[in-house]
Amino acid sequence: MSSNIHGFNNYSGNEKDVEIKSNISDSSKDDKIFVKSIYKILTITTFLLIINIIIFIIQIIAYYAYYKIKDKSWDCLLMSFGAFQGGKIRNHYHFHRFFTSMFLHNSTLHLVSNCISLFFLGYHVENEINNKLKFILLYLISGLSGNFLSLLFDQKNISVGASGAIIGLCGYFVIYFILNYKNMGKAKKISYAIIFVFLFINLFSGFFEKGVNMAAHFGGLLGGFAFSVIIIYKKNKKLNIRLAKILLAIAILFFIILPILTLIVVYTKKIPNYTDGICRT
């Protein structure tokens, strides 16, 4: 292995020394790339931040220009703009709500919290993947997975926000860390450890807060795990191959089973129309 890395075939010295030097060299290079990436502003993350902010501004303008004047509630506005709600999807086949709800927010604090998270996570993940299409797919698939899982566990409540998609970005860090630990530099390992703390807080703090859609959080994380395995498996050749193949099989099963379960709920389970009268004056 070490002879291939260093580009020669015959070596009479200590093979372990060569391997250690190679790892140090790779780690140092990895750290330089990682630190440099912190200051690189990439377009998709910036675009997502701008879109979320613009849509929330439109929500505020629409509320005060129309909904409040007509004595309609904020929940009515959210439903009109495409908030996620199981009853609307099951009874009226509003499948667009799986997607549109990811770009709506319930309050200024909700928006700021998600934008800060996206700012710190998005640029790193986008730079690491280095493929704009794969990055946007990771974001959207994580958000959709969160909403799919929400439909399985909660058909009553209104849900909005980018949390599932953003936590899916955390999922990328977890999978990358597991499969590339031996190839990572020290600075990167420390940074990832901080991200894991952030992920833990985001996932489990919701248990102590009212109104947090925990199904969307866990669904987004699982979707991020699954799609990240596919991305990393195809991109990186220095993987723990055996573990990568196991995770790849699990990821494929996840993307088969979750949509099937969601369709079963949509087409078989009767869900009351909890929100049908929400926009009536």
As a whole number of angstroms, the longest Cα–Cα distance in the chain is 86
With a CB cutoff of 8 Å and minimum separation 6, the contacts of 175 are 224, 225, 228, 229, 232, 247
86: Cα within 13 Å, side-chain hemisphere = 26
Number of Cβ within 10 Å of residue 98's Cβ equals: 21
Q: Which listed residue (163, 191, 205, 228) is catalytic? A: 163
Using CB atoms within 10 Å of the CB of residue 76, give its burial: 0 to 12 exposed, 13 to 18 middle, 19+ buried: buried
DSSP state of 8: -
163 belongs to the catalytic site:
yes
User: How many Å apart are CA 183 and CA 262, to the nearest integer?
Assistant: 38
Q: Which listed residue (117, 142, 145, 217) is catalytic? A: 217
- Is 134 within 8 Å of 59 (Cβ atoms)? no
Instruction: Provide the angle, in degrees to the nearest 10, between the axes of the packed helices 43-62 and 108-129.
Output: 160
Give the active site residues: 163, 217
